[in-house]
Amino acid sequence: LRVGDLFDKETFAEKLKEVMEYHNFQLVNYYKAEAVDYQKVLDDTMAVADILTSMVVDVSDLLDQARQRGDFVMFEGAQGTLLDIDHGTYPYVTSSNTTAGGVATGSGLGPRYVDYVLGILKAYSTRVGAGPFPTELFDETGEFLCKQGNEFGATTGRRRRTGWLDTVAVRRAVQLNSLSGFCLTKLDVLDGLKEVKLCVA
């Protein structure tokens, strides 16, 4: 389902029914949970359908118009390079492209018009959940970085794994994103440590 499906309310209702039948089957039969009421979801959605459809635009056209006017447009990614579905540490990745190339595919702005790519990196490494982490610290230094850096997931509150800066991973990010420059964050978190290490090979 997409928000644009709401322009044809009858078709939206049919699609919603099909999707909910599939998921309700799983909820009831696999998770022993209660089914979600189709009519309530449909009614709730239709109550705001006109508001939602009034905000639907062709983003690629909107961005192209801004480009032609000479406007500056900034895109911000939400996750690290090595979580990219195509170039990350598969299978420990997210479901989308998190590299700078994802800007073009996700927005519809031609890649030639992305003229500066700023890489944001911490002065140490972090990772949420499972997956390879060569510089991970399991000692009091790792705990120090977690506490000093407030390394807990914004949504889940889950503790992030912490470790020394991995410049091998940084070089890979530079390669995959064609970085124009860096912004180094959380350097102050390292204050108080007698020794700071980094991985170079």
Structure tokens at 177: 């994103």
Fold designation for 3-56: Adenylosuccinate Synthetase, subunit A; domain 2 (1.10.300)
Per-domain boundaries in the chain? 3-56, 72-199
CA distance 108 to 58: 9
C-beta separation of 74 from 83 below 8 A: no
Dihedral pair phi/psi, residue 197, rounded to 5°: -115, 160
CB 149 within 8 A of CB 122: yes
- What dotted CATH number matches 72-199? 3.90.170.10
Amino acid letter, residue 152? F
CB 123 within 8 A of CB 190: yes
pLDDT in tens, the chain (201 residues): 999 999 999 999 999 999 999 999 999 999 999 999 999 999 999 999 999 999 999 999 999 999 999 999 999 998 999 999 999 999 999 999 999 999 999 999 999 999 999 999 999 999 988 999 999 999 999 999 999 999 998 888 899 999 999 999 999 999 999 999 999 999 999 998 999 999 999
Q: What is the pLDDT of residue 5?
A: 97
- Torsion over CA: 183, 118, 76, 157 (sign): negative
Tokens of 44: 């709730």
Residues 6+ apart with CB under 8 A from 131: 89, 92
- Say how far apart CA 126 and CA 158 lie, in whole Å: 12
Judging by DSSP bridges, how do beta strands 165-166 and 198-199 pair with one another? parallel
Q: Both tokens of residue 116?
A: 């500066």
Distances (CA, A) of 37 to 24, 55, 189: 9, 27, 48
Q: What are the residues facing 159 on neighbouring strands?
A: 152
- The Cα 133–Cα 125 span in angstroms is 9
Let me know how long the chain is: 201
Segment holding 176, helix H or strand E:
helix 167-177
Residue 122: C-alpha distances to residues 22, 39, 85, 134, 162 (Å): 42, 47, 22, 16, 11
In the prediction, which pLDDT does 84 show?
A: 97
